[in-house]
Every structure is written in C-alpha cells, then in structure tokens.
C-alpha cells in the first residue's frame, strides 16, 4: 500500500511539472513548482499565521526566504540553504517537516527545491496576485491536417500548448452535433428539429463546414434570446446559494424569487459584470437606488435563516455573515477566505484580522423585506377607493325602509336621530389623549429613535428578551389613563407593528410586562383593554391585561393584525402624579418580539375603560362640540356612523373589504443601516460567536491584493468597487475561468474556487489572461466572452476520441478533442420537456412544483406535502422549480443539482444507477414520454406517418442528429416487439399511456421507445 502511495505521489508530482508553462526540466518556476510545495509542507508553521509560527523562520515572504534569520535559501548554494539542509536532514531532531507531522515532503519535491536553488532561486509573486496581462497570441500559420486554423486568439493559445506535446485539435464537429452543443451551452435547451435543419442549411456548407458569418448569426440569435438568461442565471444561482426556503429545521418559504428574476433579466440585458457585481453587493447604496437595484442585494440574503424555537438569532446572524464572507471570497476572488474565520489562513496570505475586516465591510446592513411597487396594484387600489366613496354615498339609500315617498322622508329623519344618538354615545367614551414624548430612551440592543409625531421607532438587532427604558417629564397631575399605540410602518417587517422577523408571525410583537415608576414609586395598574389581541402559539390568554400581571411568560401580541394600528389602554389604581416617569417595557418570546413603532398618550378625563377606538381623525372630531362642527366634519362623522351601524352591516362589509390594503410582492434585500446605529465588528477568537476579542474593526480589503484603504469607502459599496476594480488581479480571471469551465467542463485553473497557493496553476496562463483582460476591455460583457469562446475552432471541434491522443492526454487537459460532459439536471429535464413539445416558455414569477414521487418532502421537518403544479406551471423551465433546502427536488439531487445551502462553484457530474432509474421510471419522465409518443402517433401527413418516419422523428426530437441505419433498425425492432405485446394487453396499454381516452398499442409502444431514447448516454451528454 505504501508503495502504491509513493507511486501516486510521483505521478502527481510529475503532472505538476508537465502542467506548467514550460516543459524544460532546467527551468523550475517558483510559482508553478516551488511555492505549492512550501505552502503545503511548510506554511502551517512558517507561514502567514503569526500565532502558529513556531520560530522566526518565515517562508511565505520573499524577505523571509532570502533575508530571514538562518538564511533559509541561499541562491545557487544548497548546502548553505538552511531550508534545504532541514528537508534533507537524516537526524530526526533536525528533519523538516517534523517526523510526526501529518505532511511529509517527497523525494520529488526535494528534487524540485534543489534544482530551484541550483538554478538561482528566482522568486515570483504568486501568479494570481500578479496583475492581469494582455498577452498577444503568436501568429501560427502552420496548417495541421484536419484542423482549419483561423486566427482566433483562443485557438492560437491552445495550439501553442499542444504543439510541443505532439497534439492537435480535432476536426470540426458535424453540423447537428455542433448545433445541439451550441443550443445546450448558450440557452440550456436543444434545438427543435426544424431549428436544427434550418441552421444546418444556412450556417454550414453542404459538406458540413461552418459558414462563419451565418454561424455568427446563429450564435447572436441564441445569445440574445430570452432563454439565454434562464440558462446562465442558473449557474450564477449555484454560487449565490439560491433557494426558496430558509433552511435548517423549519425551512419555511421565503420571498427570494424576485432576486432570481433579477439575475435572469440582468443577464438578458447584458449588464456589464462590474455593474452586475456592484448592484448585488451594494445596490441599495447607489445614489437614488432603484427597486431593481435593491432587489439585486438579494445575493447576500440567500444565507440560511434558522427559525428553530430556542436559537439565539444573533448567533445565526453571525453564521450568515461568515457565509457571506466565504461566498464573496469564492465567487469573486476564487480564494478560500473562509479558512481564516478561526485563525490566519494556513497557506494563503489572509490573516485572521483581515477576515473580520472583510466582514466589517458587509456587517452594517439590516435585512428587511422590500415591498415591490406595482402599478397594477396602485391602479386597483385607486379603483377600490373610488368604489368605496360611491358605496359610502349610497349607504343612506340602503337604510331599511318601506316603499312610499313618505317612508323615505321618514327614513332621513330616522337616520338623523340615530346619528345624533350615536354621537352622544361616542362622546361618553372618547378621551382627550395627549401624546407624551420621552426625554430619554434606550434599549438593551434595538436602536430607538424619536420621530416627529411623538412615536418611538425601533430598528437594528433584537434579542429574545428586549427591554426598553423611556423617561418622561409629565406635566399634568392626576393622569387617569395611559394609552399605548402600536403603529404600522412600511419600514417594519410585514409593516409591523412588531419587529419579529423570524420564527413567529413576521411583524408581530409580544409585550410581556409594562412597568411604570413615577418619582421613584411603582405605579399599580388595575385594568387594561386592547383593541385587538391574538396569539400565534398556544391557546392561552393574550391581552393587554397580561402586560400588567407580573408574569414574564404572558403578554400582548397581535398575530394576524399586521400592518394595522392597535391600541391598549391601561388604568392606574390611583391617578398618577406629574413628575419624572420611568417606563420599562419587556418584550420576549423564544424569538425576537419587540415593538417596532409605538406612541404613548395620557388622559386626565374620567371615562369607562375602552380600547375600541375609531380612527384617530374621527376620535379628534368627536371631541369637538357638535354645534361647532363644520358641515364637512359633520359629514365625515356621519359617514363613520353609517359605516358602523348595524342596520347597514350587510352593505358596509364590502366597503371594509375594499379598504383593505392590497398585498405587494416582497423581496429579501439588504439595507445599509443609518449612521446613527453602526454595528461593531470584532475578531472572533477561534471563529466562535461568543468569543470576541480586541477593538472594533474598520473594514478593509486584503493586503495581498490591490490597495483598499484610501481608495474605497469602508462599506459594502467600497467592497463591491474594490472587487471589480481594474487593479484587482483576481476577479476577471476567476470569472473568465468559470465561464470557460461552463463550455469545456474544466477550468483553465481546474480549482475553480481556489486561486491561492494550494490551487492548481493555470494550464494555459496566457489564454486565461487573454480572456480576463479582453472581458474587461469589452466592458465586462459576458455575452461577448461567450461569443468569443464559441467562435473558436477549439470549441467547434469534434469530441470523438482518438486512442493515440487519449494516451497522451487522458484528462484532455490540452483540448485535442472537445470534452464530452454530462449535462446539468435542469438541462436534462428542460430538454426532455422541449423534445416532448410541452415545455412552457413562461418566464419569471413564484416558484413552481413539477411532479415528483411521493415521500420526498415528507421526510423534512413537519412532513410538508409537495402538491405538483397544474397546467403549464408543471412544465416550466427548471430554474423556476421550487428549491426547498431540507428536501431538494429529487431529480435535481440525483443529477447533482445543489441544495442551495452553500456556495457551489462547481457541480459534480456523477454517473449513477439512481440516474438510470430516474430517467426510466420517474413519473415526470413517464409523463414526458407519453406526451412525446402521443405526438408521434398524431403525425398524419403521408410523408411522416410511416413507422420509420416516426422513429426518426422520435430520435431527432431527442438527439437532433438523424439516426444511423443500424440505430433505426434497433429502434424499429424494439417498437414492433412492444407493439405486439401491447396489442394483446389492453390493461398494460392503458397503464403505459397514462391519462388517455383512446389508449392505443401504438401510443404505448412509442412511449416505450421514447423512454429508452431519453435514457441514452448521448441524451444526457453534451457531445
């Protein structure tokens, strides 16, 4: 076994050398060959981590290597180089790495270091931290047989690496293969037979050679189609860890899809990648940020939310922040920044402190839901309010009455009498409230602000037990009643009045205790009333009275009363004297439940206890002597009377309904906090939430990259600008590499998420820099990059494997053939829907649920059901399929789609028996087979109604190219055999065709054919 390991190690070491720019054994590259060894074997103890460094020897910096204590490296002199002495020492006390270390240096690695020292020990900055170059390809006019060389720069760079190895690219792929490849790559769907035939004749010569300008039109058409955005958004959503639910135990639904739609739209609009970045990181901070720019900040709202009873919300907010730092690192910088959460990075130059400085840049946001303005809703609201006015004016005519004129006159009189009586009644109830405004106010964690109308507004973070302290200087003596108004506000979750933003009813509060001390004396309240109270959990009392019962576990809440004003009125045992009032309000459940907006008022009049208030404007009118009322005021009161009198209840119900605020779609967004309430960021020792140390940090970028301080503001917008700064050596490379990987299955840097010292160096460094620099100079246009790639012959070559070349390059690193890759889960499903002719091209909107076998979601918490959508929503593109984190869509999971729980830079491409079973047996695919087969049996014209024509049609719907005669024979033989079986078995026929009034053996047998074709390797592969 040990021998095997060594063999493997040797093999890998050898490939490392081969991968480099130059194959010459006499030219060791520090970046390519040496630093990875030092990083892997030495940096843990002699690297960037100050805490872990065990001696003064430091090997991760130029100074440390050459000028450090002990002379680790003396160029040209191995025996004087302490590092070399140590790694070759026989004495176990001297040997490095220490004999008990997990990581031991190999002979091959020793040899590399020796040669490097002997050759003069040139030091270079890490390749990915060096500025992006704009290399020019050398013009290579050699015509290799079979491959037509244009002067496409991509081909030149690829060729320059192939030639020394005796490799060359394949011939051009055949037209149908190439058309299908282009469609799958650019829009994530195959062409229809008609489209394929059209492009076969227009974009290719009869012999199958590309006609460049027509081919370019094909590419342009695809890149500018709406389906393009749906295809490429899905890849971005993998990085964004997009999901339609919160994750963890409860995994409730969330309003995330407006962000998903934003991504699709932005991509279709060809938004430059730098702007695409800035809007997602900090769209809310742009001047006069639009709704769309605010929705874009959903990128970092895709973090999970734990709504489990009993969690500490701030702890899980911290975890969300660590996810944001790590995801930003992976997505834009291709760095494993997450490693520095607990301690300084062991391999890369990212310190523990820098990790939290990056976090500080992002840490100053609130996480509200944005109501998306909707002109249609506004219009409907206006229509409703106009209708309300009409209905109110018509109310008197509905007063119960006889038919004669006399009756009608009498009725007017009756209404007047009743109105007068109502006014009198109301006046005995209504109090003359005076708002009191606090002179001082504070809270344990929420940020309180006093607003102009005497309201107190809370924002920021909250805990499971919040305490508000308010101090008032009250003038009037003998206060007989105190009123709390809990007020709605668009800034609050679900418009408030509460701050509850997880687990409970969003926008609710739970006011458990209300204590008032006046001039040092505790005030006793004897009674209290509320206008509305409802509990979300349990059947116990929730009421204003429970605020004054001394029990911290009971309180007042307004479940299902969100977006409305509610009041509670409290009566003291004795009138309360003037002076210094100190009020303490306790809020608490096992989740945050503080009041978001409230106002306090006092009254000195003597009235019965009641919280049944009319709207404040009406209440004020009721305080005016009836004789002093203007006619307008009188009419307002009269309308209010009519709205509340029982004789008209039947007619006022509709008015109440029409007055309800129409719901607006909401979206999870980030919102920069006001400067008055900054959130501090500290270093967390060992990455632990409760274990902070040191002073509050100012945000900053990474020192190893381009400068941050002095160039950018220390906030999210600064971070976004720093990421896409032309100085940044990483972002453009990381993005270009990831797009390359989308087409070729592998990146130029194979470790898509690690451009650090431990990542693999680029196989084609010049090509990578060419793509990265051209991306930027072409205004960060990803569409440009895609067109650039697919118009290269490297992309257009055949995937047929040449056995000789396979031996030279089994991993196809040098692209002497087009790499075949299994297509993504979403594309497999969408393609089969398209081939069945049932794919819906409807774009955008809430997530949908395609059919899947029973018992998938039921294993998640609460055993939620998955009721498949009806109609066209059943057959929408997979990007619209609901992503439930704790119970992912089964077909997607089987084909390696991510669960949306963490940033995914690269998907696996597994090949399993479960995939075979899914394609063959899953109910969704069975439906697709039945639909396709039905269309085959419906082919009626003489030309295509033969079985042979049907078989060709079935084959081409799925695989685009025509079948070979052998393939056709196989399919027809199978078909006739199945047909005979079904003809003698009606029951089986019915079962196989599914819902059908006219089940035929033909339909069943074609269903079987399609089912086999959908299962082919070629069907799920990009050839």
Partner 1 sequence: MQNNLLHPLTTASTSRRHFLRDCSVGTGKIALASLLANETLFASPKSNAKTGLPGNIDTHFPGKAKAVIHLFMAGAPSQLELFTEKPTLTKLEGQPLPASILGDQRYAFIQADAGVLGPRFKFGHHGDSKQELSEALPHLATVADDISIFNAVHTDQFNHAPAQLFLNTGFGQPGRPSIGSWVKYALGAETNNLPAYVVMNTGGGVSGGAGLYSSGFLPTVYTGISFRGKGPPILNVETPAGISDSAQQATFDLIKRLNQHQLAVIQDPEISTRIASYEMAARLQLSAPELIDLTQETQETLDLYGCDPTKPSFARACLLARRMVQRGVRFINIFHSGWDAHSDVAGNTKNNTGKTDQGSAALVKDLKRLGLLDETLVIWGGEFGRTPMIEQNPTLGRKMGRDHHPQAYTMWMAGGGIKRGYHMGVTDEFGFHPTEDAVHIHDIQATILATLGLDHERLTYHHAGRDFRLTDVHGEVIKQALV
Residues 945-974 touching partner 1, rule: CB under 8 A, are: 964, 966-967, 970-971, 974
- Build a one-symbol-per-residue string for 335-354: x at contacts with partner 1 by CB under 8 A, - elsewhere: xx-xx-----xxxx------
Span 475-504, contacts to partner 1 by CB under 8 A: none
Q: Which of residues 291-320 bind partner 1 (CB under 8 A)?
A: 304, 306, 308-312, 319
- Residues numbered 527-546 forming contacts with partner 1, rule: CB under 8 A: 535, 537-540, 542
Kindly tell me which of 227 and 546 has the beta carbon lying closer to partner 1: 546
Per CB under 8 A, which of residues 165..184 are in contact with partner 1?
A: none
Distance CA 971, CA 951 (A): 7
Helix H or strand E encompassing 583: strand 579-588
> How many residues are there in the chain?
1023
By beta-carbon proximity to partner 1, the closer residue of 292 and 996 is: 996
Instruction: Provide the β-strand partners of residue 448.
Output: 458
Alpha helices, DSSP H only, in 527-630?
Answer: 616-622
Work out whether 286 is an interface residue with partner 1 (CB under 8 A): no
The interface region with partner 1, picked from 467-475, 630-638, 789-797, 806-814 by CB under 8 A, is 806-814
Query: By CB under 8 A, what part of segment 852-871 binds partner 1?
Result: 853-856, 858-864
CB of 967 to partner 1, least distance (A): 6
Residue 1011 makes CB contacts below 8 A (sequence gap 6+) with: 920, 925, 926, 929
Using CA atoms, how far apart are residues 635 and 110, in angstroms rounded to an integer?
96
Among 901, 954, 979, 1001, the residue binding partner 1 under the rule CB under 8 A is 901
Q: Which bin fits 790, alpha (ψ -120 to 50), beta or left (φ > 0)? A: alpha
Of the residues 268, 270, 899, 1002, which one makes contact with partner 1 according to CB under 8 A = 899
Closest CA to 238 of 908, 928, 812: 908
- 251 touches partner 1 (CB under 8 A): yes
Q: Is 926 in the site for partner 1 (CB under 8 A)?
A: yes
- Contact between residue 555 and residue 511 where contact means Cβ atoms under 8 Å apart: yes
> Which residues are CB-contacts of 694 (< 8 A; sequence separation ≥ 6)?
682, 683
Please work out the total of residues on this chain that contact partner 1, with binding judged by CB under 8 A. Answer: 134
Q: Cα separation of 449 and 673, whole Å?
A: 13
Residue with tokens 């739609």: 261
Interaction between residue 37 and partner 1 (CB under 8 A): no
190 binds partner 1 (CB under 8 A): no
CB of residue 963 to partner 1, shortest distance in Å: 9
In whole angstroms, the minimum distance from the beta carbon of 293 to partner 1 comes to 30
Q: Which of 150, 751, 778, 869 binds partner 1 (CB under 8 A)?
A: 751
Please report whether residue 674 would count as binding partner 1 according to CB under 8 A. no
Q: Select from 754, 769, 826, 830 the one that contacts partner 1 (CB under 8 A).
A: 754
The contact mask relative to partner 1 for 817-846 (x = CB under 8 A, - = no) is --xxxx------------------------
Nearer to partner 1, 47 or 68 (CB): 47
Q: Is 980 a binder of partner 1 (CB under 8 A)?
A: no
Instruction: Write each residue from 719 to 748 as x if it is in contact with partner 1 (CB under 8 A), else as -, in one continuous string.
Output: --------------------------xxx-
Long-range contacts (CB closer than 8 Å, 24 or more residues apart) made by 338-344: 341/684, 341/687, 342/686, 342/687, 343/49, 343/51, 343/52, 343/686, 343/687, 344/48, 344/49, 344/50, 344/51, 344/52
Which of 76/855 has CB closer to partner 1? Answer: 855
Question: How far apart, in whole angstroms, are the C-alpha atoms of residue 621 and residue 677?
Answer: 39
Distance (Å, rounded) from C-alpha 426 to C-alpha 623?
A: 9
Q: Which of 878, 901, 904, 907 is nearest to 891 (CA)?
A: 878
Give least dist CB 156 to partner 1, A. Answer: 23
Applying CB under 8 A, which of residues 160, 988, 996, 1000 lies at the interface with partner 1? Answer: 988
Q: Which residue has the tokens 């860890």?
A: 241
Contact 456/597 with Cβ under 8 angstroms? yes
Identify which range of 214-222, 271-279, 753-761, 832-840 contacts partner 1 by CB under 8 A.
753-761
**990-1009: contacts with partner 1 (CB under 8 A):** 990-992, 1004, 1008
Q: Stretches 25-33, 63-71, 875-883, 902-910: which one binds partner 1 (CB under 8 A)?
A: 902-910
By beta-carbon proximity to partner 1, the closer residue of 347 and 880 is 347
Nearest CA among 746, 721, 736 for reference residue 778: 736
Q: How far is CA 733 from CA 153, 205, 656, 767, in A?
A: 17, 36, 59, 10
What character string, x for contact with partner 1 (CB under 8 A) and - otherwise, covers 87-116? Answer: ---------------xxx------------
Strand, helix or coil at 545? Answer: helix
Q: Is residue 590 involved in binding partner 1 (CB under 8 A)?
A: yes
């Amino acid at each position: 076994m040990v021998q095997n390991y060594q063999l493997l190690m040797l093999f890998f070491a050898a490939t490392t050398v081969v991968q480099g720019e130059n194959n010459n054994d006499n030219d060791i590259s520090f970046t390519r060959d040496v630093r990875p060894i030092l990083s892997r074997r030495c940096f843990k103890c002699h690297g960037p981590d100050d805490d872990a460094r065990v001696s003064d020897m430091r090997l991760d910096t130029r100074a440390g290597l050459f000028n450090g204590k002990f002379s680790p490296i003396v160029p040209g002199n191995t025996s004087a180089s302490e590092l070399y002495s140590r790694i070759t020492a026989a004495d176990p006390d001297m040997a490095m790495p220490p004999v008990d270390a997990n990581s031991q240096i190999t002979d091959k690695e020793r040899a590399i270091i020796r040669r490097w020292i002997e050759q003069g020990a040139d030091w270079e900055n890490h390749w990915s931290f060096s500025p992006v170059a704009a290399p020019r390809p050398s013009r290579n006019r050699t015509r290799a047989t079979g491959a037509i060389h244009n002067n496409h720069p991509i081909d030149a760079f690829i060729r320059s690496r192939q030639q020394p190895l005796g490799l060359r690219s394949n011939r051009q792929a055949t037209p149908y293969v190439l058309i299908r490849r282009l469609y799958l790559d650019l829009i994530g769907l195959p062409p229809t037979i008609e489209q394929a035939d059209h492009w076969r004749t227009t974009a290719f010569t009869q012999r199958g050679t590309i006609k460049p300008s027509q081919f370019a039109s094909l590419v342009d058409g695809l890149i500018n189609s709406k389906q393009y955005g749906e295809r490429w958004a899905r890849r971005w959503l993998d990085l964004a860890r997009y999901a339609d639910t919160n994750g963890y135990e409860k995994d409730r639904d969330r309003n995330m899809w407006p962000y998903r739609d934003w991504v699709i739209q932005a991509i279709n609009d060809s938004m430059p990648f730098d702007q695409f970045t800035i809007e997602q990181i900090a769209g809310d901070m742009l001047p006069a940020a639009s709704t769309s720019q605010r929705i874009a900040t959903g990128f970092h709202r895709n973090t999970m939310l734990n709504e489990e009873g009993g969690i500490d919300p701030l702890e899980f907010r911290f975890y969300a922040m660590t996810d944001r730092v790590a995801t930003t690192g992976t997505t834009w910088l291709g760095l494993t920044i997450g490693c520095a959460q607990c301690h300084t990075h062991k391999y890369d130059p990212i310190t523990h402190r820098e990790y939290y400085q990056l976090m500080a840049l992002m840490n100053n946001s609130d996480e509200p839901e944005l109501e998306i303005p909707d002109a249609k809703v506004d219009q409907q609201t206006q229509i409703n309010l106009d209708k309300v006015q009409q209905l109110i004016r018509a109310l008197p005519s509905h007063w119960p009455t006889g038919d004669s004129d006399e009756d009608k006159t009498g009725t007017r009189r009756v209404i007047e009498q009743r109105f007068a009586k109502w006014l009198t009644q109301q006046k005995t109830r209504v109090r003359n409230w005076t708002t009191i405004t606090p002179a001082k106010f504070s809270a344990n964690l929420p940020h309180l602000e006093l607003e102009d109308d005497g309201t107190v507004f809370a924002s920021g973070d909250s805990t499971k037990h919040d305490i508000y302290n308010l101090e008032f200087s009250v003038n009037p003596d003998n206060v007989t009643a105190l009123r709390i108004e809990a007020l709605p506000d668009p800034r609050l979750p679900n418009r408030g009045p509460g701050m509850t933003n997880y687990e409970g009813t969003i926008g609710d509060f739970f006011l458990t205790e209300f204590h008032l001390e006046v001039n040092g004396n505790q005030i006793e309240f004897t009674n209290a009333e509320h206008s509305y109270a409802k509990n979300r959990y349990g059947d116990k009392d929730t009421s204003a009275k429970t605020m004054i019962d001394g029990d911290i576990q009971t309180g007042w809440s307004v479940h299902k009363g969100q977006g409305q004003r509610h009041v509670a009125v409290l009566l003291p045992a004795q009138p309360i004297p003037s002076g210094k009032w100190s009020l303490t309000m306790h809020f608490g459940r096992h989740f945050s439940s503080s009041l978001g907006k409230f106002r306090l008022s006092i009254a000195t009049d003597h009235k019965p206890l009641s919280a049944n208030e009319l709207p404040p404007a009406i209440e004020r009118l009721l305080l005016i002597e009836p004789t002093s009322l203007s006619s307008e005021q009188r009419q307002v009161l009269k309308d209010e009377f009519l709205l509340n009198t029982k004789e008209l209840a039947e007619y006022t119900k509709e008015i109440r309904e029409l007055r309800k605020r129409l719901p607006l779609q909401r979206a999870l967004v980030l919102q920069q906090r006001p400067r008055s309430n900054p959130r501090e960021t500290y270093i967390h020792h060992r990455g632990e939430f409760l274990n902070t140390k040191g002073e509050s940090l100012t945000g900053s970028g990474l020192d190893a990259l381009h400068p941050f301080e002095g160039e950018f503001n220390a906030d999210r917008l600064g971070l976004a600008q720093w990421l896409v700064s032309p100085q940044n050596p990483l972002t453009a490379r990381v993005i270009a590499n990831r797009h390359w990987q989308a087409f070729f299955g592998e990146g130029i840097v194979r470790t898509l998420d690690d451009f650090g010292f431990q990542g693999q160096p680029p196989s084609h460094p010049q090509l990578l820099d060419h793509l990265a620099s051209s991306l930027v100079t072409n205004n960060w246009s990803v569409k440009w990059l895609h067109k650039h790639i697919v118009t290269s012959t490297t992309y257009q070559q055949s995937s047929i494997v040449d056995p000789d070349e396979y031996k030279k390059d089994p991993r196809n690193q040098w692209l002497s053939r087009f790499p075949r890759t299994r297509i993504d889960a979403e594309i497999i499903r969408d393609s089969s829907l398209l081939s069945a002719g049932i794919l819906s091209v409807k774009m955008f909107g809430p997530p949908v649920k395609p059919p899947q076998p029973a018992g998938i979601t039921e294993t998640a918490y609460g055993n939620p059901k998955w009721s498949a959508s009806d109609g066209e929503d059943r057959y929408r593109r997979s990007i619209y399929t609901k992503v439930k984190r704790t119970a992912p869509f089964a077909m997607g999971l089987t084909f390696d789609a991510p669960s949306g729980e963490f940033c995914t830079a690269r998907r696996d491409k597994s090949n399993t028996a479960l995939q075979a079973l899914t394609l063959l047996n899953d109910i969704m695919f069975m439906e697709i087979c039945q639909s396709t087969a039905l269309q085959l049996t419906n082919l009626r014209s003489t030309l295509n109604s033969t079985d042979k024509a049907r078989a060709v049609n079935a084959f081409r719907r799925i695989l685009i190219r025509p079948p070979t005669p052998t393939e056709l024979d196989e399919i027809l033989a199978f078909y006739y055999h199945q047909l005979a079986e079904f003809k003698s078995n009606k029951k089986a026929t019915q079962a196989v065709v599914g819902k059908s009034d006219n089940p035929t053996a033909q339909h069943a047998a074609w269903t079987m054919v399609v089912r086999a074709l959908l299962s082919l390797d070629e069907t799920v592969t990009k050839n």
